[in-house]
Amino acid sequence: MNNFEEYKHFAEDFLERYVGVPTTRNFKCLNPMHHDDNPSMGYDKNSNRAHCFGCDASYDIFDLVGIYFGIDDKGEQFKKVQSLYGGGSTSLPQPKKKKVQNKEKNIEDIKQYIIDCKANIYKTDYFEKRGLTNETIERCNLGYDEKENAVVIPYSKAMDYFQRRSVVDKKFFKPKTEDAGQEPLYNAQALKLKTRKPIFIVESPICAMSIIQCGGMAVALCGTGLEKLLAKIRTKKPLGTLVLALDNDDAGELAKTKLIGKLREIDAKFLVYNIAGDCKDPNELLMKEPTKLQNNIEHAIKEAKKLTATKYDSIPLEELLKKQFKPRTWVVKDLIPKGLTLLASPTKAGKSWMMLQLSQCVAEGRDFLGYESVKSEVEYLALEDDEQRIAERTLIQRNGKPFEHGVHITTKAPTMDRDVLLDTLAEKLEENDKIKMFIIDTLQKVRKTRMDKESSNAYASDYAEIGQLKEFADDNDVAIVIVHHARKSIDEVDPYSNILGSVALQGVVDTMMVINNRKQDEIMFYAKGRDIGQVARVIELDDDKKGKTFLWSIVGTPEEQAKAREKREYENNPLVITIKELLKNNPSGWSGNSTDIMNAMYDITKQVVCVTTTQIGKDLQNLATRLHRDGIDFTTKRTGAKRIHTFTYNKKPSWMNSMPSYQPKFYD
């Protein structure tokens, strides 16, 4: 028979026998491009075609055979139908009528059969010889049919389907379709698991069990399951990578080539990996070199995971220690690394002047507050200023110096609602990948206007919101500096507690910088972070009281300033000035009581010092050590009713080196 029409009425039998769908009611569409979980396809006995009411797909017996067996050529489809339904015979065989069976009873019988065979597993050593452990045998519910002298392999934990293999002649037996339904894939449930663990695709159940025993996860095609596998993947792609580990023979290579093409068509993640090495299949390698199979599987899993890796994946510490990292990247070395930095300052303290200066220093590769900048382009979001003010301030700070390209200014920006701000920053990076730092001045201008449900918890709200900026900075390898305000109250012990808001801000950011101008005599700059040590500097702004460049500069460390302040206070002390002048006029020494010193202080400094004679004595005791370091010794003793203070040089002052060697005495 060579007439296509003569075979078309076999479509109903094929749908029931091979595809496993009922033709008496609607079933799920067989069109691989129609992703619909509802029964939308029905069978029309008049036209002998399956028709979908959703996507309008229509299939006859040849189309169905082509889909099921993966045959695209019409001629080959016809030959396959001939082989299934009496090709070449003069009389046309009629489709077999479906037997009316109690399927639930059949499934219960199959399950009981598997349980009975499992109880007899100790009567055969077949699986032990194939390299399987007792744990695997128990886990996979393997059994032995003593009557048939065959091992029994269930296809899943449900124990509703099995295959039986003779231990004598290797013949296979599988239940009839009318009894147990269409043959499924072995361990098909692995494709539905909500895990990104790779799934090995092999040919036989015993190869799948070999992989499972070595810590992998596997599905077996069982000879004719290629289209079944593809149908399941089309319906829902597994989360894990498919590792194609079919047999190392001609049939395995052919199936692998076909599977690769189909997986590419549906854009499924897969990896071809020969875990069997020089052996025919994984089970053969398990019997010969189980350790090698274990290593191959572990390496294949590691490679497959790379295809589905995300930034949330963990890594073993021992592997982390082996990784080669690039040197940490900085925008301002040892002060502002890539990541999120927060600068907090009181209102009108000059923080915007500082950020304008920072952007220019980074764009030109100049030092910022004594720290070396790494030249790169900057996006400065000056959200509290207008373009005119930015232009005027820049001209003041440049003071006639030529300007280099690299700073980009915007005075408007969206908020963080619905990630619009992050999308805007991402667009700027796409347009210009030379930008390595964003300055957001100020944070309050971009904070969410729509309050989330968690906003009642200030800590959680701050952490979630600011955490988005940090994540963006880390993912894009850029620095983000956010400018924020300080509290009105002052904590002199911990300057970082002056940052306005919850402590979540301090917990999220990589680096904190604080300007404290509450002291009248000096402005403090503090910084600390995950990649920098503690920084404390005295800084000053060259504002309208000074040179009017409005540039910030480092004055020194607090320790240096304390020493300088101590030195100034010592040198400007009227008592010290008086003592030095008395010794200058009396190089051999000078003695007198507190009243004499008070009178001398007025004569020498021309200042009226409101102190008592008792206070003079206490001040001299406090100054004794400092005077000694300055080359002056001080002693005191009581003579009658008076206390006499004596001052002498303990080393020759430099100014005496120019004097003649002979010194007249006072009584000369």
Alpha helices in 215-316 (DSSP H): 226-235, 250-265, 282-288, 290-307
Q: What is the pLDDT of residues 525-550, one digit of tens each?
A: 999 999 998 999 999 998 876 678 89
Can you read off the two tokens belonging to residue 581?
A: 């002048």
Q: Quick one: which of 279, 234, 15, 19 has its CA closest to 130?
A: 279
Q: How confident is the model at residue 480, as a pLDDT?
A: 97
350: region left, alpha or beta (phi > 0 left; psi from -120 to 50 alpha) = left
Do 393 and 468 belong to one domain? yes
- Asked, for residue 64, whether it belongs to a domain, the answer is yes
Residue type at 349? A
Among candidate residues 256, 273, 307, the one where a domain is terminated: 307
| E strands, 89-146, in order | 143-145
> Whole-number mean pLDDT of the chain?
87
Query: What pLDDT score does 569 carry?
Result: 87
**Whether the model pTM is above 0.75:** no
Spatial neighbors of 108 by CB under 8 A, at least 6 apart, are none
Q: What is the mean pLDDT of residues 599-612?
A: 84
Per DSSP, the three-state class of 447 is coil
Look at residue 59 and tell me if it is in a domain. Answer: yes
CATH number at residue 612: 3.90.1150
Q: Is residue 267 part of a domain?
A: yes
Q: What is the pLDDT of residues 608-627, one digit of tens each?
A: 777 888 888 898 999 999 99
- Give the pLDDT confidence of 200-223 residue by residue, as tens digits: 999 999 999 999 999 999 999 997
Phi, psi of 398, deg, nearest 5? -70, -35
**Contact call for residues 403 and 446 (beta carbons, < 8 A):** no
Considering just the CA atoms, what is the radius of gyration of the chain in Å? 44
Alpha-carbon distance of 597 to 114, in angstroms, equals 114
* Residue 91 forms part of a structural domain: no
Q: Is the pLDDT of residue 102 over 70?
A: no
CATH of the domain at 344: 3.40.50.300
Q: Is the pLDDT of residue 667 over 50?
A: no
Asked whether residue 98 is assigned to any structural domain, the reply reads no
Is a pLDDT exceeding 70 seen at residue 456?
no
Are 385 and 529 found together in one domain? yes
Q: What is the DSSP letter of 497?
A: G
CA 334 – CA 529 distance, rounded (Å): 10
The rounded Cα 72 to chain-centroid distance in angstroms is: 45
> If you average pLDDT over residues 282-303, what whole number do you get?
96
**Residue 52: which residues within 8 A CB-CB, separation 6 or more?**
29, 30, 31, 34, 40, 41, 58
Structure tokens at 574: 């009227």
Structure-model confidence comparison of residues 557 and 538, the more confident one: 538
Which pLDDT score, from 0 to 100, does residue 21 have? Answer: 80
Same domain, 176 and 192: no
Burial of 520 per CB tally in 10 Å (0-12, 13-18, 19+): exposed
In which element (H, E) is residue 151 found? strand 150-154
Given a cut of 50, whether residue 66 has pLDDT beyond it is yes
Q: How many domains does the chain have?
A: 5
Task: Verify that 531 and 615 share a domain, yes or no.
Answer: no
pLDDT band at 47 (very low <50, low <70, confident <90, very high): confident
pLDDT in tens, 167-206: 988 788 998 887 888 889 999 999 998 889 999 999 999 9
Residues 138, 166: one domain?
yes
Contacts of 541 (CB under 8 A, 6+ apart): 350, 353, 523, 550, 551, 552
* Residue 664, in any domain of the structure: no
Q: Is the peptide bond before 90 cis (omega within 30 degrees of 0)?
A: no
Does the pLDDT of residue 657 top 70, yes or no? no
- Residue 339 CA to residue 479 CA, distance in Å, equals 5
Return the CATH number at 193: 3.40.1360.10
Q: Are residues 547 and 580 in the same domain?
A: no
In the DSSP assignment, the letter for residue 661 is S
Spatial separation of the C-alpha atoms in residues 204 and 343, rounded to whole Å: 63
405 with 459, same domain: the answer is yes
Please indicate, yes or no, whether residues 367 and 479 belong to a single structural domain of this protein.
yes
* Contact of 71 with 57, CB cutoff 8 Å: no
| Domain of residue 589, residue span | 573-658
* CB contact at 8 A, 510 and 470: yes
Beta bridge partners of residue 438, listed in sequence order:
379, 480
How many angstroms separate the CA atoms of 360 and 339, rounded? 19
Is-contact 393 356, C-beta < 8 A? Answer: yes
Same domain, 195 and 164: no
Of the ranges 35-39, 297-301, 403-407, 655-659, the best mean pLDDT one: 297-301
pLDDT of residue 77: 86
Q: Which of 180, 209, 242 is the last residue of a domain?
A: 180
Residue 313 falls inside a structural domain: no
Q: What are phi and psi of 432, to 5 degrees?
A: -145, 100
Q: What is the pLDDT, as a whole number, of residue 666?
A: 38
For residues 193 and 165, state if they share a domain. no
Residue 525 phi, psi (nearest 5): -125, 120
Query: Which residue has better confidence, 17 or 441?
Result: 441
- Same domain? For 351 and 419 the reply is yes
Which DSSP helix (H) or strand (E) runs through 79?
A: helix 74-84
Reading across the β-sheet that carries 632-639, which strands appear in turn? Answer: 590-592, 642-649, 632-639
Sheet containing strand 535-541, edge to edge, reads 407-410, 377-382, 435-441, 479-485, 339-345, 511-516, 523-529, 535-541, 552-556
Q: Which candidate, 293, 334, 149, 312, places its Cα nearest to that of 210?
A: 293
What per-residue confidence (pLDDT) applies to 103?
57
Better-scored residue on pLDDT, 102 or 566? 566
What letters, b where the CB count within 10 A reaches 16 and e where it falls short, cover 416-432? beeeebbeebeebbeee
Share of the chain above pLDDT 70, in %: 92
Is 320 inside any structural domain? no
The better pLDDT of the pair 14, 666 is held by 14
**What 3-state class would DSSP assign to 248?**
coil
Confidence of residue 662 (pLDDT cuts 50, 70, 90): very low
**pLDDT tens digit string along 117-143?**
999 999 999 999 999 999 999 999 999
Angle at 177 between CA 235 and CA 122, to 5 degrees: 100
At residue 91, the pLDDT reads 44
Residue 199 tokens read as: 């799934």
pLDDT band at 431 (very low <50, low <70, confident <90, very high): very high
Select from 84, 116, 134 the last residue of a domain: 84
Determine phi and psi for 347, rounding to 5 degrees. -65, 140
Q: 590 near 666, Cβ under 8 Å?
A: no
Q: Which helix (H) or strand (E) holds 205?
A: helix 205-213
Q: Are residues 411 and 519 in the same domain?
A: yes
Residue range 30-55: mean pLDDT, rounded: 78
State the CATH number of the domain containing residue 137: 3.90.980.10
